[in-house]
Amino acid sequence: MIIKKLKVEEGFFDGLDLDFSEGLNVLVGGRGVGKTSVIELIRFGLGVGNLSSNANESSSHAVSILQSTGRVTIEAIQNGMPITVSRSAMDSEPFSTTYFERPIIFSQKEIETVSLNASGRLALIDSFDPEIAERQMELTTFNSQINSLSAQLSQNKKELSELLESTAQFQSLKNRENQLLLQQQEIQKQNVSMQNSQNALNSIQSELAAISVDLQNISGVKNSLTQRVSHLESLNTPLYLQKYNSQEAISLSEIISQSYTNDAATIQFLIRNNRDLLDKINNTINSLTNKKLSLEEQARSNRINVDNFNQGAGAILGELGRLRQTLAQLENTKRTAQDKKDKINRIYDDIQSILEKVANIRDLVQSKRSQIIRYLNNNLLPAINSTLTPQSNLNDYANALESCLRGSGLKYKEVIPTITQKVAPAWLLYYTHTLKYQDFANSIGLPLDRATRLLGYLSEINIGPILTAKIEDTADFALLDHRNYKPVEQLSIGQRCTVALSVILENTTRVLVVDQPEDHLDNEFIAQTLIKSIKQRTNHTQTILSSHNANIPVLGNANNVINLESNGQKGFIKCFGKIDSPDVKQVIESIMEGGKEAFQSRSNFYAS
């Protein structure tokens, strides 16, 4: 993408119409004329975020320049096609005619601080390859899926636990049934005359058990349908549309109204359809209930006959009948529990499949970052050494693990580093699913009882935040200083800026916008390294800089020098053009070099 024009309405730069060239563009002028403001208006207009912290500072700056009613419009070219991007001071996001690749923009403060934190250094590396950002978006999508599935997994585990608890008495009841059957057989041997009544009663009891199961299952379906009808009715709410004036808004309002009418009709149809189903279910429940009542009456009649023969036999048959109904319901619950287990296994497999895709993306991103590191070292060594340690930043993983364990009552803080180092999230999911306590204990070097308590707790909660925690590569830069490499954390501000700018200027794939890159840099670096890098990258793509240093536009052979001026209330363009145009020469001589004589002296010096 090439930025062609910046237009501003209202505010300090009201009426500004600023053209940019394809190569090197340099904003010049005295202090307070708005050079930094132009940079921040470009950032605001294109919706470019900060690589370092304090991401809202730039938006606040731009909004203060535009004031409440202002607007910035940027015209650009991408792949030969024109693009217009517009954003008012009140807009949360820019509006564009099509997708556009955002440039890289750095404020003075970002140049100073971007290399100080791990995320900033990694962002510098990632800015070289747009595909990395695309892959990170894929990770965001996959993480959303994992969080959703993990919540389902946790809920289904709780439901399974409740089902298993309700079937805990199944075996003891089964044993009691066998005892009653043996007693029944003894009674039958004593009195054969009870056989017919007993056979009839047994048959009725079996049928009653089957009907009880059917009623239980149908009632569950009825509850689900009732909830669905309630939900559908909650969706069927009136739509109130405001009155619109523009034809586009009126047309949209009509489309929305028609869409709502169609949706309302569909919802009404679904409500009627589900209510019809409820009526059929209620009819079936009534029919089965009546049948059950009739069978229970027959059972009582046969039981009375049996009681006439033997009071004890009747008591046994009564208990046996009730017991069989309970066992039949528990058998049904056991089948439901097995279905729940199968569902849990399917969800687990789905999560592991997505985690495998996440791992593949991380490997791909790490490979691309390694290529960028090699590219930087080929161009910047020995002055600057860049390194990448794959998937070594485990802070998010550790924080997520600690957050999930908080409130567990377990001693966990001292084992978190060990878990994050030795157990990947996918393996942690495996251990919580299979409950292989000994394997987990061996993997983290804990006593079995302690590992069991820890894993048991994790298996009962939603560990989605742990599974989706970032596990990032670590990028580091070091500057050669007196034959020793010093990491950026130990460098002065000027040295940090030297490292950051050296890396930034190697990125020739995207438009670069930088506010006063020469700040904190010594003249030797500016003349020998910074200018050379700027000239090299402008052969590939557009560069927009603001500067107080004449070396940058002069030695950089700027395609476009823009002299900004201000009357204290409004900023405007005083002149613009190539470096060799008379007006631009005069500006550089008077504003940036202290006069013609000083400018000539420096020119002779650089030429020698």
Amino acid making up residue 33: V
Whether 427 shows a pLDDT value over 60: the answer reads: yes
| Average pLDDT of span 451-475 | 95
pLDDT tens per residue across span 555-591: 888 999 999 999 888 999 999 999 888 989 888 887 6
With beta carbons less than 8 A apart as the criterion, state whether 86 and 71 touch. yes
Amino acid making up residue 252: L
Structure tokens at 23: 């190569």
pLDDT of 200: 81
Angle at 493 between CA 488 and CA 499, to 5 degrees: 50
- The three-state secondary structure class of 72 is strand
pLDDT tens per residue across span 28-60: 998 889 999 999 999 999 999 887 554 445 578
In whole angstroms, give the CA distance from residue 229 to residue 276. 11
pLDDT of 372: 97
* CA distances in angstroms from 540 to 83, 93, 132, 508, 521, listed in the order given: 20, 29, 21, 6, 25
**Average per-residue pLDDT for the chain:** 88
In whole angstroms, give the CA distance from residue 494 to residue 522. 8
In whole angstroms, give the CA distance from residue 189 to residue 14. 109
Q: What percent of the chain has pLDDT over 90?
A: 52
pLDDT of 55: 43
In whole angstroms, give the CA distance from residue 7 to residue 9. 7
For residue 149, give every residue at least 6 positions away whose Cβ sits within 8 Å of its Cβ, in sequence order, or none.
347, 350, 351, 354, 464
In whole angstroms, give the CA distance from residue 289 to residue 239. 43
Buried b (16+ CB within 10 A) or exposed e, 217-250: eeeeebeeeeeebeebeeeeeeeeeeeeeeeeee
In whole angstroms, give the CA distance from residue 563 to residue 30. 9
Structure tokens at 501: 């700018």
pLDDT tens per residue across span 468-515: 999 999 999 999 988 899 999 999 888 898 899 999 999 988 999 999
Whether 605 shows a pLDDT value over 70: the answer reads: no
| Average pLDDT of span 519-526 | 76
If one compares 517 and 242, the residue with the highest pLDDT of the two is: 517
With beta carbons less than 8 A apart as the criterion, state whether 364 and 135 touch. yes
Going by their DSSP bridges, the two strands 81-88 and 95-96 should be labelled as antiparallel
In whole angstroms, give the CA distance from residue 521 to residue 529. 11
With beta carbons less than 8 A apart as the criterion, state whether 521 and 600 touch. no
